[in-house]
Amino acid sequence: MNVQIYDTTLRDGNQAIGIGLSLRDKLEVAEKLDALGVHYIEGGWPNPTNEIDSRFYPEVHKLNLKAKIAAFGSTKRPGTKIEDDPFIADVVRANAPVATIFGKSWDLHVTDVIRCSLDENLTMISESVAYLKARKDEVVYDAEHFFDGYRANPDYAIRSLLAAQEAGADCIVLCDTNGGMLTGDFRRIFLDVQSKITAPLGLHLHNDTGCAEANSIYGVELGAVHVQGTINGLGERCGNANLCTIIPALQLKLNIPLITDEQLASITETAIYVSDIANTGFNIRAPYVGEAAFSHKAGAHVDGVRKVRRAFEHIQPEQVGNKRNFVISDQAGSGTILEKLKDIRPDLDKKDPIVQNLLARIKDMEKDGYHFEAADGSFQLIVHEELGDFVQPFTIKSFRVIEEKHDTNPPVSEATIKVFDGDLEVFTAAEGDGPVDALSNALYKAVGAIYPVMKEVRLEDFKVRVLEGSQGTAAKVRVLIESSDGFERWGTIGVSTNIIEASWIALLDSIKYKLLKEQMRG
């Protein structure tokens, strides 16, 4: 079965709230999509009011991508001649071998939105497809709002598809534009279309009922040969069908070859990359590609996974470029500790005192409010301290944080730190946007004077959570810090009734972990 993947991240995904890709962003993402192996990349809607999308097509042509580039547009407007229509002209001018145009399948949209007769709309579809078919390698017809249109007037919805088919459309795509289709109705409608339309059928589904991926996968089982979607499910409202779920599901579950095994193993990296470029929060619980997708926390689960991987994993994480993660928590057993330790000390036995001591120490810290799910840097430090192969090479003699405010002026935050490394003493001061930022700046400045490698480290994220709200201002707080040196990101944690001290513990762990990495690197 030959199924084609059509990516619309650069067009439909870019319409999501909070996303605005630049031309450079779009070109970089296009290269990443091409490396992943998608068959079509839709670049956007070229028109005079959309400079970025109009410039994309001549620029992407220079990249010599393997994927087919598709220009998106609409059928001609009511009352215009096809050769004079600006919508069609924009698509023709785009330097793209594939034209994808949408037309109206729902009689409500014909009569109340574009306000023309039902027959004129059919003529608009037919003329637009035929005109573009004569000028492009392929024409994909997106039947907008098809499923809602079918439910309202099935005869007219089917007639709109026949108009595109008879005009020569290479693929007719059934769109659930409002995303309201449940699987039962989806199946019934798709099978009826299949009995009346002979052209290849595709799907473009939105996720407003949470069914976009399931319906897309099921649609392929029913006979669809073209699936549209976006990376990470980006799109309007609740988003589009998520290709990061659909591609591995089709390839690994239904054994439908879409991309190479090597390309499939890059899909997690692609998902994270697009999330970073689009500046959206990455969903760690996303199927297949999320950090939590192959994470195991409960002791019984960890024990089962260690014995038989497939007992608690539906695929091997490496197949999609992800990795197995054993989470250290109060639900963890010695098996979890042992699994985390195997890369460090593979000779350790489950009954080794080191393993038991680590487990006891972790559980005691959990009682105080520590959680290590997102703080593997702190956990690694505890491990190496127990193993006796890492000792903090410097000593913090003292630190002070001053917060000063005069009248209506903004507050000024300053921190001072005294650090000893053998006979060397370093005393530094730094300002910051708030006391924690000042403390961070002073700490990195002081330790960086002794260890220049610390200049590579950047504070990427800072989170504070109150653990015992009933205690009011005396409540414990948990501080999670994420740091990066440009090659790796790591999390560290601190807990205290004093937010400055909790932040200090997490910051210090971040520095110690970087030095541990350098030590292990040799």
Check whether residue 186 and residue 47 sit in a common domain. Answer: yes
Residue 301 has pLDDT above 80, yes or no: no
Whether the pTM exceeds 0.85: the reply is: no
Which H helix or E strand runs over 266? none
- 101 is a domain residue: yes
* Confidence band for 423, pLDDT divided at 50, 70 and 90: confident
| Cβ neighbours of 209 (radius 10 Å) | 18
The identity of residue 399, as a single letter, is F
- 451 is a domain residue: yes
pLDDT score of 336: 56
pLDDT score of 309: 58
Q: pLDDT tens digits, residue range 11-59? A: 999 999 989 999 999 999 999 999 999 999 999 999 888 999 999 999 9
Average pLDDT over residues 322-342: 61
pLDDT score of 129: 98
* Confidence band for 405, pLDDT divided at 50, 70 and 90: confident
Higher pLDDT, 67 or 336: 67
* Confidence band for 358, pLDDT divided at 50, 70 and 90: confident
- 286 is a domain residue: no
Strands in 395-404's sheet, in edge-to-edge order, are: 395-404, 412-421, 424-432
Higher pLDDT, 326 or 190: 190
The count of structural domains within the chain is: 3
Q: pLDDT tens digits, residue range 494-517? A: 999 998 999 999 999 999 999 998
Check whether residue 140 and residue 258 sit in a common domain. Answer: yes
Where in the sequence is the domain holding 339, given as residue range(s)?
291-387
Phi first, then psi: what are they for 78, rounded to 5°? -60, 140
* DSSP letter string, 280-306: ----TT-TTTSGGGGEE-SHHHHHHHH
* Confidence band for 487, pLDDT divided at 50, 70 and 90: confident
**Which residues does 80 contact at the CB level (< 8 Å), separation at least 6?**
none
- Which of 387, 416, 436 delimits the end of a domain? 387
Residue 111 has pLDDT above 80, yes or no: yes
Residue 459 has pLDDT above 90, yes or no: no
Higher pLDDT, 518 or 312: 518
* Confidence band for 375, pLDDT divided at 50, 70 and 90: confident
- 18 is a domain residue: yes
**Which residues does 51 contact at the CB level (< 8 Å), separation at least 6?**
none
Average pLDDT over residues 389-418: 87
Q: What is the CATH classification number for the domain harbouring 508?
A: 3.30.160.270
- Which of 340, 355, 387 delimits the end of a domain? 387
Q: pLDDT tens digits, residue range 72-105? A: 999 999 999 999 999 999 999 998 999 999 999 9
pLDDT score of 330: 47
Check whether residue 314 and residue 444 sit in a common domain. Answer: no
Find out whether 507 and 439 touch, Cβ atoms under 8 Å. Answer: yes
Mean pLDDT highest for which of 196-210, 284-298, 444-458, 460-474? 196-210
Check whether residue 24 and residue 40 sit in a common domain. Answer: yes
Check whether residue 214 and residue 318 sit in a common domain. Answer: no
- 28 is a domain residue: yes
What mean pLDDT is reported for the chain?
89
Check whether residue 172 and residue 301 sit in a common domain. Answer: no
* Confidence band for 6, pLDDT divided at 50, 70 and 90: very high
Check whether residue 380 and residue 416 sit in a common domain. Answer: no
Residue 337 has pLDDT above 50, yes or no: yes
Which structure tokens are listed for 440? 């961070």
pLDDT score of 38: 98
The identity of residue 18, as a single letter, is G
- 99 is a domain residue: yes
* Cα torsion through 216, 219, 223, 229, rounded to 10: -20
- Which of 367, 387, 407 delimits the end of a domain? 387
Q: pLDDT tens digits, residue range 239-281? A: 999 999 999 999 999 999 999 999 999 999 999 889 878 878 7
Average pLDDT over residues 142-159: 98
Which H helix or E strand runs over 337? helix 334-341
Check whether residue 91 and residue 135 sit in a common domain. Answer: yes
pLDDT score of 369: 83
pLDDT score of 85: 97
30 three-class SS? helix
Check whether residue 502 and residue 375 sit in a common domain. Answer: no
Check whether residue 61 and residue 140 sit in a common domain. Answer: yes
Average pLDDT over residues 120-145: 98
Check whether residue 315 and residue 460 sit in a common domain. Answer: no
* Confidence band for 335, pLDDT divided at 50, 70 and 90: low
The pairs formed by 311-316 with CB atoms below 8 angstroms and a separation of 24 or more are: 315/248, 315/252, 315/288
pLDDT score of 36: 98
Check whether residue 224 and residue 303 sit in a common domain. Answer: no
- 284 is a domain residue: no
Higher pLDDT, 329 or 80: 80
Show the DSSP H helices in 167-296 as ranges: 183-196, 212-222, 243-248, 261-264, 267-278
431 three-class SS? strand
Q: Which of 119-133, 397-411, 470-484 has the lowest mean pLDDT?
A: 470-484
Q: What is the CATH classification number for the domain harbouring 113?
A: 3.20.20.70
Q: pLDDT tens digits, residue range 151-200? A: 999 999 999 999 999 999 999 999 999 999 999 999 999 999 999 999 99
* Confidence band for 360, pLDDT divided at 50, 70 and 90: confident
Q: What percent of the chain has pLDDT over 90?
A: 61
- 150 is a domain residue: yes
